[in-house]
Amino acid sequence: MANAQSDRGYPDRPIRILLGFPPGGSTDVPMRVLAANAAGILGQPAVIENKPGAAGVLPAQMLQSAKPDGYTIAVIPQGVFRLPYTTGINWNPLDLGYTSG
């Protein structure tokens, strides 16, 4: 059975999932199930990279510097998006480098 993604050529390499939670936790386990199912549908591995600590900020920062090509996604605690309003951080978690158009 062919899928629409293979007809368009995407994805043609593994998908990287940055996860701001520790391995084996209540967020990690369902994300691994989701990644395995996505890999089966997309025909490419979906690789979980756990980046716990720093209150979930690490995946957000890594996502900002990732190439905006759809191959890197992140699961980030909601509180990270409030940081610009509550602390003096020097980066914006809402600025992912994408442009609308």
CATH number for the domain spanning 46: value is 3.40.190.150
pLDDT tens digit sequence for 48-89: 999 998 888 899 889 888 999 999 999 988 888 776 666 766
User: For the whole model, what pTM was predicted?
Assistant: 0.74
Domain membership of residue 95 (yes or no) is no
Domain membership of residue 49 (yes or no) is yes
Number of domains in the chain: 1
- For the chain, give the mean pLDDT: 84
Cβ atoms of residues 59 and 18 within 8 Å: yes
- Would you state the pLDDT for residue 72? 95
The SS3 of residue 1 is: coil
Domain membership of residue 23 (yes or no) is yes
Domain membership of residue 42 (yes or no) is yes
Domain membership of residue 3 (yes or no) is no
Q: Which residues pair with 47 in a beta bridge?
A: 16
Cα distance between residue 80 and residue 19, in whole Å: 13
Residue numbers of the domain that contains 79: 12-86
Kindly tell me the sign of the dihedral angle through the C-alpha atoms of 65, 32, 55, 92: positive
Tokens of 77: 């605690």
Domain membership of residue 6 (yes or no) is no
